């Protein structure tokens, strides 16, 4: 097994500060939505009090909402950023943007929708697309158009999710530039600068600055069949995968559009943070040193990631969104209630999930704002800020410990209030500090490098920090037997570490010193404090 990676990603544009200088563990909250920013809403005030304890926050305010329209009941965007940074001046922040989808009714950004309809689409293409029901008028239903929306060969809009008014834009360079030399990535970049990044908050990539989060970002469009070049036939945007990644395809042009968007922002703010939703992974091809012609199989830690040319040296981090989900296909293979997916696919399981996170870390540039979205059943009796009875604590610890095996950020969400919650675990050191006796950054700096192999057997991983030891059982099937962790395998051996004095799961975190071997169940981990 290869245990040492060579970073083969060009460094590109760098921010000045690295998140690796933050003490561990790292905590983030992702795409926290607008309903939490009403000034006098008690739940929102309490949630914001938790947000400021984290190291990194991604906000989902979107454009032209009540916070930007002088609604006195809401914090303005500037007031929110100022409130956050007044309490947490070293916070990294990003704001939600999405150049590949727009509300075709124009209720969010009417000027963008007008531009998408009115500007000429694929160069050299005839106006052969026919508008369909559900579109705004003009143009009239049934009229021929050639515009900057992504359309099927029959002219119907393409939607990532299959329904609704949010439909895909055409961000490829098949389209025609406007009178200002822009295609939609540049046009949307200008809109983002004017409507979102107008704030006086720094945008230089350092702590205390705000940057852009690009949603639905990956190596290909999520909807693969569309007429991107306007020739009247369906294009397979996944043809790059099928032909081995050679040649210019709709997928390469789509990625180039995303790059053009972020470069437009950086033309105004050279070191602005750029973070992507990496659910559809940015890294699709990789090199196995033992088989250079082979493909990445999703589980081999000896495989080195290669970033696509369009994204090399561009992204400061990525949000792995589907690590743990209430249903569907979580990358971890485990649902939010802690049960294993009974029919997991090839792209599921602890190793696959961790490799995805490792690839994000290696393929990003400083400050490596790579977060893992972890949606867990949170006990309702205590709300979503201080988890209590009913919380699947072992699953929450499992995800948190996985992130700690590398240098990323853990983004815990209540599965019943996703992106509207900010739950904190005792292990973060950010809550009930009078009981636990630990505080933010309690683990200190890492002693061990990011981990690439187990410490004991095939499933017990450990990583040592200045004041913290994280012990993880990577077995993702809760129905089996617990593993006995040998105290002799702990750094320093018996008497060196103790369990936390827990305020939440106090039976597990009982403040006892580890003097002998102990059992650690599947889908679980323990955070130990140095004695």
Is residue 37 situated within a structural domain? yes
Three-point CA angle 313, 316, 322, nearest 5°: 115
- Comparing 7-11, 38-42, 152-156, 441-445, which segment has the lowest mean pLDDT? 7-11
Tokens encoding 152? 């099927």
Q: Are 417 and 385 in contact (CB under 8 A)?
A: no
Is residue 279 situated within a structural domain? yes
Is residue 176 situated within a structural domain? no
- Comparing 21-25, 375-379, 414-418, which segment has the lowest mean pLDDT? 414-418
Which residues are CB-contacts of 489 (< 8 A; sequence separation ≥ 6)? 455, 456, 460, 462
- Comparing 145-159, 226-240, 490-504, which segment has the lowest mean pLDDT? 226-240
Is residue 504 situated within a structural domain? no
Q: What is the pLDDT of residue 421?
A: 85
Rounded Cα gap, residues 393 and 191, in angstroms: 42
Question: pLDDT (tens digit, 9 = 90+) per residue, 6-30?
Answer: 223 333 333 334 565 899 999 999 8
Number of domains in the chain: 1
User: Highest-confidence range of 23-27, 128-132, 340-344, by mean pLDDT?
Assistant: 23-27
Q: What is the pLDDT of residue 137?
A: 61
Average pLDDT over residues 103-119: 88
Q: What is the 3-state secondary structure (H, E, C) of 428-452?
A: HCCCCHHHHCCCCCCCECECCCCCC
**Greatest CA separation found in the chain?**
78
Q: Are 314 and 274 in contact (CB under 8 A)?
A: yes
Q: What is the pLDDT of residue 292?
A: 45
385 against 468, higher pLDDT: 468
Q: Are 274 and 311 in contact (CB under 8 A)?
A: no
Question: How does 449-464 read in b/e, with b if 16+ C-beta sit within 10 Å?
Answer: eebbeebbeebbbbbb
Structure-token match 């933010």, residue found? 440
Q: What is the pLDDT of residue 240?
A: 54
Q: What is the pLDDT of residue 307?
A: 65
Q: What are phi and psi of 250, to 5 degrees?
A: -60, -35
Q: What is the pLDDT of residue 296?
A: 44
Which residues are CB-contacts of 279 (< 8 A; sequence separation ≥ 6)? 216, 218, 319, 320, 321, 322
Q: Are 341 and 330 in contact (CB under 8 A)?
A: yes
Which residues are CB-contacts of 133 (< 8 A; sequence separation ≥ 6)? 141
Average pLDDT over residues 170-188: 96
The 3-state DSSP class for residue 412 equals: strand
Is residue 235 situated within a structural domain? yes
Rounded Cα gap, residues 160 and 467, in angstroms: 45
Q: What is the pLDDT of residue 35?
A: 62
Is residue 225 situated within a structural domain? yes
Is residue 505 situated within a structural domain? no
Question: pLDDT (tens digit, 9 = 90+) per residue, 263-322?
Answer: 999 999 999 999 998 755 555 545 444 544 444 444 455 555 556 778 878 889 988 888
30 against 465, higher pLDDT: 465
Q: Helix %, strand %, coil % for the chain, to 5? A: 20, 20, 55
State the pLDDT confidence band at 2, using cuts at 50, 70 and 90.
Answer: very low
Range of the domain at 405: 25-103+183-436
Helix axes 77-87, 42-51, angle to 10 degrees: 50
Helix (H) or strand (E) holding 259: helix 250-268
Tokens encoding 483? 């593993």
Average pLDDT over residues 504-525: 97
**C-alpha distances out from residue 463 to 13, 43, 182, Å:** 30, 36, 49
Q: Are 172 and 99 in contact (CB under 8 A)?
A: no
Average pLDDT over residues 420-433: 90
Q: What's the CATH code of the domain at 347?
A: 3.20.20.70
Q: Are 119 and 186 in contact (CB under 8 A)?
A: no
- 184 by Cβ neighbours in 10 Å (0-12 / 13-18 / 19+) ranks as buried
State the pLDDT confidence band at 132, using cuts at 50, 70 and 90.
Answer: confident
Is residue 177 situated within a structural domain? no
Rounded Cα gap, residues 309 and 306, in angstroms: 9
Q: What is the pLDDT of residue 524?
A: 97
- Comparing 33-37, 234-238, 392-396, 504-508, which segment has the lowest mean pLDDT? 33-37
Peptide bond into 25 cis (omega under 30): yes
Question: pLDDT (tens digit, 9 = 90+) per residue, 48-76?
Answer: 899 999 999 999 876 656 556 667 788 88
On the CB side of 285, CA atoms within 13 Å amount to 18
Average pLDDT taken over every residue of the chain: 84
Note the Cα 494 to chain centre separation in Å.
38
Q: What is the pLDDT of residue 239?
A: 59
**C-alpha distances out from residue 401 to 193, 464, 526, 528, Å:** 37, 12, 8, 11
């Amino acid at each position: 097994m290869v245990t040492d990676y060579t970073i083969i990603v060009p460094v590109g544009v760098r921010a000045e500060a690295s998140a690796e200088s933050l003490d561990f563990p790292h905590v983030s909250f992702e795409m926290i939505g607008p309903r939490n920013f009403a000034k006098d809403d008690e739940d929102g005030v309490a949630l914001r009090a938790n947000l400021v304890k984290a190291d990194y926050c991604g906000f989902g305010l979107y454009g032209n909402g009540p916070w930007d329209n002088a609604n006195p009941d809401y914090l303005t965007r500037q007031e929110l950023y100022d409130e956050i940074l007044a309490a947490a001046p070293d916070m990294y922040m990003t704001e939600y943007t999405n150049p590949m989808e727009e509300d075709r009714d124009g209720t969010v950004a009417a000027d963008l929708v007008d531009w998408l309809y009115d500007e000429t689409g694929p160069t050299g293409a005839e106006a052969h697309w026919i508008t369909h029901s559900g579109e705004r008028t003009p143009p009239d239903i049934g009229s021929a158009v050639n515009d900057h929306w992504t359309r099927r060969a029959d002219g119907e809009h393409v939607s990532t999710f299959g329904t609704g008014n949010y439909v895909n834009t055409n961000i490829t360079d098949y389209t025609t530039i406007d009178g200002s030399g822009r295609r939609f990535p540049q046009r949307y970049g200008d809109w983002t600068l004017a409507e979102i990044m107008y704030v006086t908050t720094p945008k230089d990539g350092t702590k205390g600055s705000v940057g852009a989060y690009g949603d639905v970002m990956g190596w290909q469009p999520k909807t693969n069949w569309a007429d991107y070049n306007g020739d009247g036939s369906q294009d397979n945007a996944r043809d790059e995968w099928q032909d081995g990644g050679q040649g210019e395809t709709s997928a390469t042009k789509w990625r180039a559009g995303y790059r053009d968007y972020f470069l437009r922002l950086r033309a105004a703010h050279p070191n602005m943070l750029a973070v992507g939703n990496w659910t559809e992974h940015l890294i699709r091809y990789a090199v196995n040193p033992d088989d250079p012609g082979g493909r990445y199989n999703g589980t081999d830690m000896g495989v080195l990631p290669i970033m696509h040319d369009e994204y090399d040296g561009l992204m400061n981090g990525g949000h792995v969104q589907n690590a743990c989900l209430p249903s569907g296909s979580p990358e971890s293979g485990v649902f939010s209630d802690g049960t294993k997916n009974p029919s997991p696919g090839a792209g599921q399981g602890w190793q696959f999930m961790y490799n995805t996170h490792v690839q994000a870390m290696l393929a990003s540039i400083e400050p490596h704002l790579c977060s893992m979205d972890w949606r867990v059943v949170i006990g309702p009796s205590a709300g979503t800020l201080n988890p209590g009875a009913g919380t699947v604590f072992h699953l929450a610890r499992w995800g948190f410990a996985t992130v700690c095996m590398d240098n990323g950020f853990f983004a815990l969400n209540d599965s019943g209030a996703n992106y509207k919650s900010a739950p904190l675990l005792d292990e973060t050191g950010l809550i009930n500090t009078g009981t636990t006796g630990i505080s933010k950054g309690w683990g200190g700096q890492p002693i061990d490098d990011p981990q690439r192999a187990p410490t004991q057997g095939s499933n017990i991983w450990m990583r040592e920090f200045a004041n913290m030891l994280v012990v993880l059982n990577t077995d993702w099937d809760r129905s089996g037997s617990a593993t006995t962790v040998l105290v002799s395998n702990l750094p320093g051996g018996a008497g060196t570490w103790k369990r936390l004095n827990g305020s939440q799961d106090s039976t597990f975190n009982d403040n006892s010193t580890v003097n002998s071997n102990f059992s650690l169940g599947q889908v679980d981990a323990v955070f130990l404090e140095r004695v």
